[in-house]
Each structure stands twice: as structure tokens, then as C-alpha cells.
């Protein structure tokens, strides 16, 4: 029941997001492939950080809502990044983004499957994602 309520809150938040000019729409408006992917990476990193660190209080429904939004940002962020890669993105950047995005997707699926954060595979994925994120940040400078 709590999970269903959290899912409903997450879906409502996604559907009711304002449709005005936001960072998401700006990320795809450039014709430069590197800038486009770097903007998408910054957007995803911000979304994952914001949703993972949200604090709606100690109530069980609030805790589940935060967890659901964090998982949504993680899974959706990975897919969002992968969908922005094309043959025009520099190879080194594309490879780092693929590594980061794939790890995000596996982390998110692990979270949905109930894998604890201290699971060896999850820890490895988180470390690999952080390494790739650092590399992307350097390549995007």
C-alpha cells in the first residue's frame, strides 16, 4: 500500500511538472553534440542528486516517495543519457556517458529489486558510476 502511494506521488510529480522553458528543453536545443550530451549529463546528475537527497520527513509514505523518486531519477537518467548519444558525440565522451548511464540503470533496477546499498555489486556500480561521472565532468570542461 505504501509503495503504491509512493508510486502515485512519483507519477503525479512527473505528470504535473511545468512545461515551460526548463533546463531539460534547453539541453537538446544546441546543435553541438558535445554540448548537448554535457548539458544532458548535468541535468541527470542534478536530478539524481536532488531526488536522492530529498527529505520529506520520517513518515513511511514520505520515505517511500523519496525512494521512488530517487529510483525514477536514476533509471530515467540512465535512459535519458543513452538516448542522447549518437555518432557525432566524441568517442571518449560517449564511452564515459555509456558507462555512467548503464551503471545508473543497474543501480536503479537493483534498488527496485530490494538490493541493499552495501551489496558488493551495488557498491561496485556506484563506484564505477562516480568514476565515469568524474571523467565526464572533466571531458565537458
Mean pLDDT, the chain, whole residue set: 85
User: Is the pLDDT at 9 greater than 70, yes or no?
Assistant: no
Nearest to 24 by CA among 47, 48, 1: 47
| pLDDT tens digits along 113-127 | 999 989 999 999 999
Alpha helix (H) ranges present in the chain?
Answer: 2-15, 23-27, 33-52, 60-82, 91-112, 120-139
Question: CA–CA separation, 83 vs 121, rounded Å?
Answer: 25
User: Is the pLDDT at 32 greater than 60, yes or no?
Assistant: yes
pLDDT of residue 64: 92
| pLDDT tens digits along 46-87 | 999 999 999 999 999 999 999 999 999 999 999 999 999 999
Amino acid at each position: 500500500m505504501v509503495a503504491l502511494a509512493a508510486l502515485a506521488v512519483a507519477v503525479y510529480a512527473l505528470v504535473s511538472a511545468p512545461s515551460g522553458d526548463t533546463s531539460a528543453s534547453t539541453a537538446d536545443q544546441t546543435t553541438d553534440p558535445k554540448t548537448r550530451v554535457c548539458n544532458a549529463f548535468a541535468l541527470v546528475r542534478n536530478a539524481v542528486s536532488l531526488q536522492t537527497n530529498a527529505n520529506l520527513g520520517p513518515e513511511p509514505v514520505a520515505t517511500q516517495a523519496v525512494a521512488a523518486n530517487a529510483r525514477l531519477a536514476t533509471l530515467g537518467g540512465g535512459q535519458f543519457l543513452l538516448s542522447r548519444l549518437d555518432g557525432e558525440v566524441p568517442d571518449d565522451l560517449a564511452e564515459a556517458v555509456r558507462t555512467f548511464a548503464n551503471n545508473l540503470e543497474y543501480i536503479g533496477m537493483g534498488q527496485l529489486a530490494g538490493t541493499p546499498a552495501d551489496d558488493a555489486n551495488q557498491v561496485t556500480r556506484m563506484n564505477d558510476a562516480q568514476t565515469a561521472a568524474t571523467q565526464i565532468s572533466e571531458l565537458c570542461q
